[in-house]
Structure 1
Amino acid sequence: MSGCGDVKMNMRTMTDEISRRIEEISDDEISSFTSSILTARRIYVAGAGRSGLIARAFAMRLMHIGLESYVVGETVTPAMEPGDAVVVFSGTGETNSMVDIAESTKALGGTLCLITSHRGSSIGKLADYIVEIPSEPPEDREWPNTFEVRQLTGGYKSLFQPLAAIGTFFETAAMIFSDALIADLMDIRKCGIEEVMKRLSNIQ
């Protein structure tokens, strides 16, 4: 049976890889993405599977710092209009449901932002702003673009095994990126922790 040493070794592997890849993220992409968030009238977020959980966490933090944010697909999410931004979290940029959301965003005149590992993906070709979290390139074959199929066939790619098949690298790095962005937005907006605390849910 594996011991805690194996878990800690996996943690070190993951953090080492993410730390190395942080340096490869474009400063210009981060700057443009940040500006798009600050200038958007409202911000909608979307993602499938674990990427969807990260998207929800990002929407919550945006609300905490005083920005108007919504999760695509929720019953209380209002109609999107020009001037609004949609942020899609998608490692492959090929998930069918996310491609549909991206196409709808562009058709409705919204700004499309993408956090991904593949800028040349279907969503990447539509996006106005991209933050690419580098990963190894896909094999020379088409990935199935149905989320469930890619989960079962290991259609996610990252730099370490056995975690590659479940997309761990992208999702963990995307979570760190989104939290780091929130910290930066707090500084830009002069939003202190006291202001954030006032917006925390108090009816749970």
Structure 2
Amino acid sequence: MMLLMASKIRSVANSLSADDVEGFLAEILKARRIYVMGAGRSGLVAKGFAMRLMHLGLQSYVVGETITPALQKGDLIIVFSGSGKTKTVADIAETGKEIGAHIGLITSNADSRIGKIADCKVIIETQRDDVRDDAAEFEIRQMLGDHKSFAPLGTLFETASMIFSDAVISRLMEITKTDESALKNRHANIE
């Protein structure tokens, strides 16, 4: 299963638009402050990305945390949402857009509610076929050797998004000429 997932993630990486990625990097580099968010497991990926942005020396915050400051015009909100239409996340993105923030979206659905207002998007192609009964269809697919949906409930999107966000940090390190020792100096030391 790990090899199947690795193969799919390689395919996702090969499908990324270089122009979209460059636009995403440009938004990050010009932002004064960066806010990240997502729901569920996508939210966990977002939190990890916020941490790495902070390690890089950028002002980053997680939407919804108690110490997150008020959003201002020109700030950047980065949304991790496979569907691009999770209601709570879409509502917040729309509010941020009204305030004057730029919206960056990591998604599988470019034409989604959030996709329509995003200033930049990176499309992580992991859309799965509609399935009525995951459990039953999973067993049938396993017996037939059909592994199209071998990873449940968006797992490939979240995993690919995490790998993508780590690759973004590596690229930002190159662009800003920041070495790993600078990141280590910002790493938690009271754990």
Q: Same fold (TM over 0.5)?
A: yes
Aligned residue for 1:162? Answer: 150
Equivalent in 168, 173, 185 of residue 160 of structure 2: 173
Aligned residue for 1:86? Answer: 77
Cα deviation for residue 162 of structure 1 reads 3.5
SS of the equivalent of 2:15 reads coil
CA RMSD of aligned residues (A): 1.7
SS of the equivalent of 2:5 reads helix
Task: Indicate yes or no: 2:135 matched with 1:185.
Answer: no
Equivalent in 54, 57, 66 of residue 66 of structure 1: 57
Rounded Cα–Cα distance in structure 2 between residues aligned with 1:58 and 1:160: 28
Q: How many residues align?
A: 177
Rounded Cα–Cα distance in structure 2 between residues aligned with 1:136 and 1:57: 23
Sequence identity, in percent? Answer: 50
Aligned residue for 1:16? Answer: 7
Output aligned runs, 1:94-133, within 5 Å: 94-133=85-124
What whole-Å deviation, never above 9, does each CA across 1:11-63 have from its counterpart, x for those lacking one?
A: 00000011012111100000000000000010000000000000000000000
Aligned residue for 1:156? Answer: none
TM-score by length of 2: 0.89
Which structure carries more relative contact order (alpha carbon 8 Å, separation 6+)?
Answer: 2
Unaligned runs of 5+ in 1: 1-9, 140-158
Cα deviation for residue 193 of structure 1 reads 1.0
Aligned residue for 1:154? Answer: none
- List 4+ stretches of structure 1 deviating above 6 A: none
Supply the AA of the counterpart residue of 1:118: N
Supply the AA of the counterpart residue of 1:163: A
Rounded Cα–Cα distance in structure 1 between residues aligned with 2:177 and 2:61: 22
Rounded Cα–Cα distance in structure 2 between residues aligned with 1:135 and 1:50: 15
TM-score by length of 1: 0.83
